[in-house]
């Protein structure tokens, strides 16, 4: 029978004003097979320490018994670091670097050497969405499943997936209001309130946010508005949650700086200098509506149905860079734009999970089916005339005006992909210490893509594939396990603009072994070695100023990753990572021996916090940390590299009371040494390299009730 735990209604942020022990309390309630209850005393995380995740097995499984590396950025880490984007969250996960964000408009990450913007690897509550940037005030924690996950999640890149877990309604009334400001200028306010509806079996949650701050470079503003109501109904054996999220945003379209093709170094201009015009912006709107139904079928069986519809609309105006003369400093530009761009995603999955004893062994079965439908259209593509009147060393703005010239061959872009599938998995407990996991997925896909007036179809493919997965975990001792896994993956490649017609699908296989350690109420650690080989890896090149897609023959990635998080001593918490990534093109007529762009061979991070205990009637906490990213190739041809960098951050938080209510005042200092660093390149040439933010101070105040 379903029962409601009395702590189920607590907002994660409330724990910030309590004692250090309370900060290690459970996060969101979960359904478990043991009790088939809507809530469970068993925590998902304790402060910085992740304990359980449903990402790798689709059931709440201790990380110690998962045959794959899983990293979790908990709600406590997100709050301490005042995270406002997915980029900021993922510095706490090993082996992840940023790749081409399309002028800052999209989330784009490389995982274990592979990945690109729009590769479908970022999920929300286990489902795909149409969001260009996925981190919202509704985010509670961020989970990363390393390596191939196609057996459970369908068409994905071999590097792994990123899952954002959102906040849900609670049955105890609680909430907060927070305001913050930045040294860049501007700030924002956020409201989060949840509780039961008296006399009913319903709980609600309402989240809203408004942000308006100056862009740190020469000019521009960043704004975002979010409204997100949700409602949960609970019965004796069923829980239903309805949620809706609306957001509107406006941000600069900024491709960063330029690297001198002669020296392979950044051009000598102030890092704040933009090579765009003031009208270079993107405006967009998102809608996400979701339904989740969880039902207990028997003592050890449950079914879950999840559905989400999401839609993104945007329009942009951009100052496209065509060529650069390093001798004269003249940057040839043109006014381009994308108008009436729409992306819609329907995502649904049905999982049935249960435990049975068969032939003397314990089994945990997963049977499921899923369906994803993705459609993206770009109705009007505007291309202006080349203009060679801009000198990056003595810029004069306003000479280049927005264009209104619609180019027929680039307009009417369409990408459409539908992917129904069925899958099954069996987790067998052969002994108290040895567990084996085996799974199969049959994935069908139907895909078309093209562009032009009249429309030219560049991609028209369909087919099916069986994707296997097998893994084992052996408990070496209490709190220590070893694991190994093998999996395959495939992903159909698509492009609205390809010079070689339909692209062959990407295929891969991966081997992984590792060790996991968990100290109760302490530390969780994972060390992993992996080897991935993929064929037909998508990359891009520029022909006559137009970006086209091609595939590299075969690429290998192998490496080592270490993730450690938790309470390392009384009053001390840490989250630390290290990754070594070796990516090489193994077979290709022109790229053999090269590495892929934006892949760093070495990355590391460490963030350490200390709770000083009671100070002056309140409680004082502080943290200090840094991150390191090594040298990376700037393009597929390896003609230039991005330099390595190290950035330091810190925070100071004071938990107290205001008008009888718990409150937290916090100061975050980012890039303490004011380092100039470069996050990612376009991957095709030296004309667009993203510049990291300089020193920034963030001041926030949060009042709870």
- pLDDT, residue 546, reads 53
Looking at the predicted structure, is the pLDDT value of residue 311 above 90?
yes
Q: The CATH number of the domain where 182 resides is what?
A: 2.40.170.20
Please state the rounded mean pLDDT for residues 461-488. 94
- Name the pLDDT band for 44 (thresholds 50, 70, 90): confident
Q: Looking at per-residue confidence, does 381 or 1 come out higher?
A: 381
- pLDDT, residue 19, reads 34
- pLDDT, residue 38, reads 43
Domain of residue 272: give its range.
Answer: 12-704
- pLDDT, residue 18, reads 35
Q: Is 3 inside a domain boundary? A: no
Q: Are 349 and 368 in contact (CB under 8 A)?
A: yes
Please state the rounded mean pLDDT for residues 218-243. 97
- pLDDT, residue 4, reads 32
Q: Is 2 inside a domain boundary? A: no
- pLDDT, residue 1, reads 33
DSSP codes, 41-59: SS-SEETTEE-EESTTTSS
Q: Is 378 inside a domain boundary? A: yes
Which DSSP state fits 23? G
Q: Domain tally for the chain?
A: 1
Looking at the predicted structure, is the pLDDT value of residue 655 above 50?
yes
Please state the rounded mean pLDDT for residues 672-698. 97
Q: Is 463 inside a domain boundary? A: yes
- pLDDT, residue 507, reads 85
Looking at the predicted structure, is the pLDDT value of residue 5 above 70?
no
Q: Is 1 inside a domain boundary? A: no
Residues 273-307: tens digit of each pLDDT: 999 999 999 999 999 999 999 999 988 999 999 99
- pLDDT, residue 29, reads 32
Between CA 187 and CA 211 the distance in angstroms is 6
Residues 52-72: tens digit of each pLDDT: 887 877 777 888 989 999 999
Looking at the predicted structure, is the pLDDT value of residue 618 above 90?
yes
Please state the rounded mean pLDDT for residues 609-622. 96
Provide the mean pLDDT of the chain.
Answer: 90
For the ranges 15-19, 119-123, 174-178, 684-688, the lowest mean pLDDT is seen at 15-19
3-state DSSP assignment of residue 153: helix
Looking at the predicted structure, is the pLDDT value of residue 3 above 50?
no
- Give rounded-to-5 percent helix, strand, coil for the chain: 5, 60, 35
Between CA 546 and CA 410 the distance in angstroms is 9
- pLDDT, residue 551, reads 64
> Terminal CA-to-CA distance of the chain, rounded, Å?
31
Share of the chain above pLDDT 70, in %: 90
Q: Is 615 inside a domain boundary? A: yes
Between CA 160 and CA 131 the distance in angstroms is 19
Please state the rounded mean pLDDT for residues 345-350. 98
- Name the pLDDT band for 673 (thresholds 50, 70, 90): very high
- pLDDT, residue 41, reads 47
- Name the pLDDT band for 6 (thresholds 50, 70, 90): very low
Token pair 């913050």 is at which residue?
A: 180
CA atoms lying within 13 Å on the CB side of residue 648? 7
Number of helices (H) and strands (E) in the chain: give both, helices first: 3, 38
What are the CA-CA distances from residue 588 to residues 303, 532, 551, 604 (Å)?
A: 46, 17, 9, 31
Tokens representing 278 are 């003031």
Residue 358 has a CB neighbour count (10 Å cut-off) of: 10
- Name the pLDDT band for 500 (thresholds 50, 70, 90): very low
Residue 200 burial by Cβ neighbours in a 10 Å radius (0-12, 13-18, 19+): exposed
Q: Is 7 inside a domain boundary? A: no
Q: Cβ neighbours of residue 419 under 8 Å, at least 6 residues apart?
A: 154, 155, 370, 371, 372, 373, 443, 444, 445, 446
Q: Are 471 and 481 in contact (CB under 8 A)?
A: no
Residues 358-373: tens digit of each pLDDT: 999 999 999 999 999 9
Looking at the predicted structure, is the pLDDT value of residue 150 above 90?
no
Q: Is 108 inside a domain boundary? A: yes
Looking at the predicted structure, is the pLDDT value of residue 611 above 90?
yes
Between CA 178 and CA 702 the distance in angstroms is 4
**Distance from the Cα of residue 574 to its chain's centroid:** 21
Between CA 63 and CA 44 the distance in angstroms is 10
Looking at the predicted structure, is the pLDDT value of residue 385 above 50?
yes
Q: Cβ neighbours of residue 636 under 8 Å, at least 6 residues apart?
A: 539, 540, 541, 552, 591, 594, 596, 597, 683, 684
Tokens representing 514 are 């590792």
Token pair 């409330």 is at which residue?
A: 14
Share of the chain above pLDDT 90, in %: 79
- Name the pLDDT band for 49 (thresholds 50, 70, 90): very high
Q: Are 138 and 207 in contact (CB under 8 A)?
A: yes
């Amino acid at each position: 029978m379903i029962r409601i735990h009395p702590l189920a209604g607590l907002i994660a942020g409330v724990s910030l004003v309590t004692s250090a022990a309370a900060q290690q309390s459970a996060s969101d309630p979960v359904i478990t097979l043991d009790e088939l209850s809507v809530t469970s005393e068993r925590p998902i995380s304790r402060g910085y320490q992740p304990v359980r995740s449903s990402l790798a097995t689709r059931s709440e499984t201790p990380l110690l018994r998962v045959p794959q590396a899983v990293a979790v950025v908990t709600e406590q880490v997100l709050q301490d670091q005042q995270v406002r984007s997915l980029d900021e969250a993922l510095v706490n996960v090993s082996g992840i670097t940023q790749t081409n964000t399309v002028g800052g408009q999209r989330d784009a990450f490389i995982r274990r050497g592979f990945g690109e913007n729009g590769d479908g690897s970022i999920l929300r509550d286990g489902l795909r969405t149409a969001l260009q940037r996925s981190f919202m005030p509704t985010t509670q924690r961020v989970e990363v499943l390393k390596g191939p996950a196609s057996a459970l999640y369908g068409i994905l890149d071999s590097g792994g997936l990123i899952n954002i877990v959102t906040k849900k309604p609670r049955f105890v009334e609680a909430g907060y209001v927070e305001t913050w400001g930045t040294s860049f200028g501007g700030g924002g306010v956020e409201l989060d309130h949840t509780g039961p509806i008296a006399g009913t079996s319903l709980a609600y949650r309402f989240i809203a946010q408004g942000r308006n701050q100056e862009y740190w470079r020469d000019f521009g503003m960043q704004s975002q508005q979010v409204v997100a109501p949700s409602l949960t109904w609970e019965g004796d054996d069923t829980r239903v949650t309805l949620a809706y999220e609306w957001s509107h945003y406006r941000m600069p379209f900024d491709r960063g700086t330029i690297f001198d093709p002669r020296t392979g170094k950044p051009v000598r201009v102030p890092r704040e200098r933009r090579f765009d015009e003031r009208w270079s912006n993107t405006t967009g709107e998102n809608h996400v509506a979701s339904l989740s139904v969880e039902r207990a079928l028997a003592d050890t069986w449950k079914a879950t149905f999840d559905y989400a519809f999401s839609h993104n609309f945007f329009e942009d105006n951009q100052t496209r860079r065509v060529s650069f003369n390093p001798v004269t400093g003249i940057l040839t530009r043109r006014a381009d734009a994308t108008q009436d761009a729409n992306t819609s995603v329907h995502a649904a999955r049905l999982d049935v999970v249960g435990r049975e004893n068969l032939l003397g062994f314990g089994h945990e079965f997963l049977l499921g089916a899923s369906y994803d439908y993705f459609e993206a259209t770009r109705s009007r593509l505007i291309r202006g005339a080349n203009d060679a009147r801009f000198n990056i060393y003595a810029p004069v703005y306003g000479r280049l005006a927005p264009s209104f010239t619609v180019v027929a061959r680039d307009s009417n872009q369409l990408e459409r992909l539908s992917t129904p599938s069925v899958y099954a998995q069996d987790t067998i407990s052969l002994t108290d210490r040895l567990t084996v996991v085996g799974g199969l997925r049959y994935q069908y896909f139907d895909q078309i893509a093209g562009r032009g007036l009249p429309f030219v179809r560049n991609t028209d493919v369909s087919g099916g594939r069986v994707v296997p997965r097998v893994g084992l975990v052996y408990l070496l001792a209490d709190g220590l396990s070893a694991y190994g896994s093998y999996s395959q993956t495939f992903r159909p490649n698509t492009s609205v603009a390809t010079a070689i017609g339909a692209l062959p699908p990407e295929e891969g296989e991966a081997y992984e072994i590792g060790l996991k350690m968990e100290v109760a109420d302490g530390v969780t650690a994972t060390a992993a070695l992996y080897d991935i080989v993929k064929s037909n890896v998508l990359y891009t090149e520029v022909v006559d100023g137009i970006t086209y897609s091609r595939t590299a023959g075969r690429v290998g990635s192998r490496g080592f990753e270490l993730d450690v998080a938790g309470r390392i001593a009384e009053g001390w918490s840490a989250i630390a990572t290290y990754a070594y990534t070796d990516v090489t093109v193994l077979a290709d007529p022109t790229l053999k021996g090269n590495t892929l762009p934006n892949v760093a061979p070495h990355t590391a991070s460490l963030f350490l916090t200390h709770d000083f205990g009671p100070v002056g009637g309140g409680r004082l906490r502080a943290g200090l940390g840094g991150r390191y990213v090594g040298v990376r190739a700037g393009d597929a041809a390896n003609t230039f590299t991005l330099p390595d960098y190290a950035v330091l951050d810190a925070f100071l938080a004071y938990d107290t009371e205001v008008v009888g209510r718990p409150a937290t005042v916090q100061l975050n200092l980012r890039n303490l040494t004011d380092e100039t660093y470069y996050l990612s390149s376009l991957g095709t040439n030296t004309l667009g390299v993203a510049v990291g933010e300089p020193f920034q101070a963030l001041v926030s105040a949060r009042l709870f009730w």
